[in-house]
Structure formats: C-alpha cells, structure tokens
Chain A
Amino acid sequence: MNDLVLIRKNLFRRKLRAILMMVSILIAFAIFAVLASFERAFNAGQDRATPDRLVVLNKINFTQPLPISYYNRVAAVDGVAQINHFSWFGGYYQEPRNFVAAFAVDPENWMKLRDSDFVFSPEIRAAFIRERTGVLVGARMMEKWGWKIGDHIPISSNIWSQKNGSHAWDFTIIGSFTARIPQADTNVMVMSYDYFNETRSFGKDLISWLALRTTSVAANERVTNAIDGMFANSPYETRTDSEKAFSKAFAAQLGNIALIVELVVGAAFVTILMIVGNTMVMTVRERTREIGVLKTLGFSGGRILRMVLGESILLALLGGLPGLGVALLLIARVRDSLMSFVPTLSLYPDIVAAAVGLMVVFGIITGLVPALNAMRLNIVTALGRN
C-alpha cells in the first residue's frame, strides 16, 4: 500500500457518489472540449492568416461587392506584391443543405497567392488556366462527395443565376490540390472568374473582395491607407484589413463563438465546481474522525493536505479524461456532416493539454478548502466527534 492506494480507496469508499461526481465532471469537460474545438475551427482562418496578407472589402460590409476595375488599380499601388480577387459563389451540390464553399478567382494569380498553403502540380496549374469551365477542388471536398477528376458536377448557387435563368452551373473537375500546411482547408472549390462573370445574369464585373500580399509587413499600413484613400467618397468605398481581422469578422457573422464558449463553459464549470467542491467538503467532514486518527498515528498536516488534494485531482482526472474521450467521439460523429461549415473541426492536442491542465486546476480549487480544513484539524476535536 502507498498514499495513492489510500487516496483511491478514500475516493471510492462511496462508489455511487464518486461516480456521480465523475459524471458531472465528465459532462463539463466534454462540453469544454467540444466547444473549444468548434471555436478553434471557426477561427482557423485567423490562425493561418499571415501578417503580410491584406483583404480589401466594401466599406459597408463584406456582402456588398466591389468593381473588378479595382483589381488593376490596387495592383498598381506601391507595396502590393501579389493580388487576387474573389467572388463568393454561394454554392450547393444537389440540395441546398449540401453547402459547397466555392469562389470565382483569377486562376493564375490565385495559385500564386495560395502557393504557400496548397500543393498544385504543374499539369493542374496549366489546366486551370486553360480550361475556363473547369474547377479545382480541394482534397477534402473531393473525398467528402466522392468526386473524381474528370467528373461533371452541377453546382447551384443560392445567390446567382445564369443568363438562361438556371441557378446551376455544370463544371468539370480538372484537378485537385492538397494542403501544404495543416491549417490550410482543402474543403473548397475554385472556378474561373471570367467564365462565371460571362455566364451570370447580373452583377457583371463585380467581385466580393480583393486579397493581396504586401512586399513586407512594414508596408501594410502605408498600403492600407493608400487603397482606402484612393476609393474614398466613391460609390464603392473600401475598408482594407489584415487577413486575420477579415477571418475574425467572417467568423463573427456566425455569432461571437468565443463568447458563447466562455459563457457556456463558464456556467457549466462554476455549477459543477460548486457541486463537486461542496461534496468534497462534506466528504472530508464525514471523515473528520479518521483524519484525526491518521494524525494521531503520525501523519503530518502537510501529508493530509496532499492526500485530500490528491483525491480531488484524481477525481477531476477520472471524470475529465473520459470527458475528452466523449468529446472526441462526438466530434468524429459530427465532423463529416459539418465539414462544409467547420472543415478543420478536430480535438487538437493543445486543447487536450489545456483541458488536462484545467482538470488539475479544477481539482486543486475543489479540494483546497477541505484539504486546508483537514490539515488544520485539531486531533482532540476530531477524535471527540462521533
């Protein structure tokens, strides 16, 4: 026997109570891990944003368009190294619930701009520039829908229509690409802007936003001021932001995820903290006489404190670790169906590490008061209590 056996035996002396406390903690940490994973996935764009990338949007908001003519004018601004324009297609496959993240871009420039994120073979580069009706589809999207290169796929838009009145475009998949870095999302489709612009029935020569790379991070502020100054007081005023700020604003359209996570997790934690903390106080109080006996035998106050804290930390770990397992299963279960909205949804190792750290803190907080009470317990008083 050792102290750990003693701690474990104490924890499970009332099995039902211990199990109920562990289930409470399990739920709290499962909620934490799932919501933290969603929060991470929603903000993945911010994480992969590089500091020298800027995004030029309509000043009203990002759903309002900009003229394509801005493309050349912005490209000519001193300090702009690379530039591309994006048009949001608002696509879906077969049914509106089958959301497809699709953009119309300038093929050559887009591949240059995203070369650091994605791997494009020379054949695919050439094909995408050459084939106007062709689309490039990321590896995850190919896998999700079971598509193959050469497939003809009808992609409908919930925004745009063709000149013949149809909302569906028939595209040919001419190539696929994979991620060069883990954060890069390949659940995406890109098409040629020229083809899209010619065939749509309205919104001609308009784009959704411009994305550019500056010559250096130091040039960001100067480039931002030059672009926004150039279009001030025009019908299409611009707001130039860093890519990170853009991604954050985009995620904010879905609600303040971080705030939701903090509120839900916070409420769950405080509630469970109080329940577990109160139960720990009662548990130790019930053992007052036994603690008195241990002290009589020669166990020091410090050792008693460590044993009670060890018990509450063990409880937190025994409840929290299965909670992470439950979160892992939940995420695996919903990942495919939510791939279009949160493509990078996953239980990342740093979330697991943070959760384990939180379990230890949780254990210390819930165990501290009863541990201090036990440490300070007067032996004569303890032995006199029946």
Chain B
Amino acid sequence: MSSPNSPMVGIVDLCKRYTKGKETITIFNGLNLAIPRGDFVAMMGPSGSGKTTLLNLLGGIDRSDTGEIEVASERLDRLSESELSRWRASHIGFIFQFYNLMPMLTAAQNVELPLLLTRLGRKERRQRVETALGVVGLADRVKHYPKEMSGGQQQRVAIARAIVSDPALLLCDEPTGDLDRDTADEILSILQVLNRDLGKTIVMVTHDPAAARYAKRSLHLDKGNFIEKELAA
C-alpha cells in the first residue's frame, strides 16, 4: 500500500493490446502517467488513441497486460474482479457521455444506486441523495424519471450519482458530448466546482477544446503517448 501523499493516479510502464481477429493492436506500450490528488485533467486526442481505454483502466473496468496501475493508493493490477467491484463502489465516480441512467428509476433512485452497495441506512441514504441532487441543482426533480428530463438535467443526475458515495476520483467520458454549448458549460462548471470546492480529482476525456479549458491541464494522447499542455485556471 502506498502512502496517502502519493499521486491519485500512478501508471508505470503500462502495456495494453487488443486482439481483433488475427491482428493485434497495441494501444499502450510502456505508458507512464502521474496525476496528483485534486487535479482536473482533460484527456484529448484523436479517435482510437486510447483515451477511453485509459479511462477504463483507471476505473478498474479493464485490465492491463503488463505494468503497474495505482489509483487512490490501490494497485489495481493486483486486485481480483470482486475486489475491483468493491473498490470501484467506494473510490470511483463514473460520468458517461449518454448519462446511462436507469429509465425505470426516478432521479433520486438513480442517485441512490451506488449507496445500495454501502451499509448506510435508509434515512442516511435519502439525506445523501438529497445533498447530491442539491449540489447539481436538481433538488426539485427527485421524483422525475429520466424521460421527463432534458439531456442536461439527466447528465446532472448522473453527476449526482457519481458523487453520492463521495469518491476521491471522478472519471468522465465525454460528459458534454451529447449536449449543446450552454448546457455543456453548465455541466463543466459543476465539474469545476466539484474539483475546486470539494477537492475531487477529475479525469475527463473530451474532443472539445472548449470543454478542456475548464480543466487545470490537458493531456494529448497520440499513438499511446502523452503530450502535456498546461491550461490557465
């Protein structure tokens, strides 16, 4: 186990390949990366450059072939599937491009989902759900179903779901890819607040340079390697 002062993300000599038919595609070959705690990183790059694959690896939903991945002081490459499930539930918040809310659940129930994996009582779960929905400005939409909400509102519910269990790291895969400019700005502002005021470390994959400007720094991934660009806060 690493110390609490260690970076939120530490990747050393990571290799990842996919086999497609007879062809083997190398995504990463000896990738190294460190993301300090409290950082807000925008990951950019052309399609197929490995952005989403890297996000999946950081979230413990995909596995590397070789190399070390340490996230939130845990070596993911050493955990079993069930250990990874438990680890994800308590350390990671995911935000997807298409929101991925459960259509048959209300906003509150969708946000409550990660808390079903905790030992919290009903009352405490409800309080946390209300708080999370309050943070994203949807306190008045608790009983609305996804189909009754706009894309921006659904994404805010997804953000509330990602933060409700108070994870240290938020992984966002094109969180504004399906939204118009104004709505995208609202979502990005919320992420910025979560990073700045609540200290959440955020890794965001995006194609949108305007979205990337909300991050503290931007990493450009190309052919399995990073080119880093500092951005003005």
Question: Contact residues of A with B, CB < 8 Å?
Answer: 1-3, 5-6, 9-10, 12-13, 289-290, 293-302, 379-380, 383
Contacts and interface: CB of A to CB of B under 8 A. Distances in A.
Tell me what chain B mostly uses at the interface: helix, strand, loop, or mixed: helix
B49 interface: no
Contacts of A298: 85-90, 114, 117
A289 B62 CA distance: 16
Interface string B83-107: 0011111100010100010111100
A3 B117 CA distance: 10
Nearest to B89: A298
B116 A379 contact: no
Contacts of A299: 85, 89, 117
B109 interface: yes
A3 B116 contact: yes
Contacts of B96: 293, 383
A94 B89 CA distance: 78
Interface residues of B, number: 26
Contacts of A6: 105, 116
A297 B113 contact: yes
Given A10-B104, A13-B103, A298-B89, A2 B82 contact: no
Q: Is the interface of A mostly helix, strand, loop or mixed?
A: helix
Contact of A9 (B62, B85, B105, B161): B105
Question: Lowest 8 A-B CB distances belong to which pairs?
Answer: A298-B89, A379-B61, A13-B104, A9-B104, A300-B85, A298-B88, A293-B100, A298-B117
17 contacts: A1-B112, A5-B109, A10-B104, A290-B100, A293-B102, A294-B113, A295-B85, A296-B88, A297-B94, A297-B161, A298-B86, A298-B87, A298-B89, A300-B86, A379-B61, A380-B61, A383-B96
Contacts of A9: 102, 104-105, 109
A381 to B, nearest CB: 10
Given A1-B116, A2-B116, A3-B116, A297 B103 contact: no
A297 B164 CA distance: 11
Interface of B: 56, 59, 61-62, 81-82, 85-90, 94, 96, 100, 102-105, 109, 112-114, 116-117, 161
A303 to B, nearest CB: 8
A273 B49 CA distance: 47
A3 B81 CA distance: 21
Contacts of B109: 1, 5, 9
Given A9-B104, A289-B100, A301-B81, A296 B112 contact: no
B100 A380 contact: no
A286 to B, nearest CB: 11
Contacts of A12: 104
Given A13-B104, A297-B161, 17 more contacts: A1-B105, A1-B116, A5-B109, A6-B105, A290-B100, A293-B96, A296-B59, A297-B117, A298-B85, A298-B86, A298-B87, A298-B89, A300-B85, A301-B85, A379-B56, A379-B61, A383-B100
Contact of A380 (B62, B81, B82, B161): B62
Most buried by B among A1, A9, A380: A1
A327 B82 CA distance: 45
Given A10-B104, A290-B102, A301-B81, A380 B114 contact: no
Nearest to B83: A300
A383 B61 CA distance: 10
A295 B114 CA distance: 10
B88 A297 contact: yes
A299 B102 CA distance: 14
A55 B161 CA distance: 76
A294 B109 CA distance: 13
B158 to A, nearest CB: 10
Contacts of A3: 116
Contacts of B85: 295, 298-301
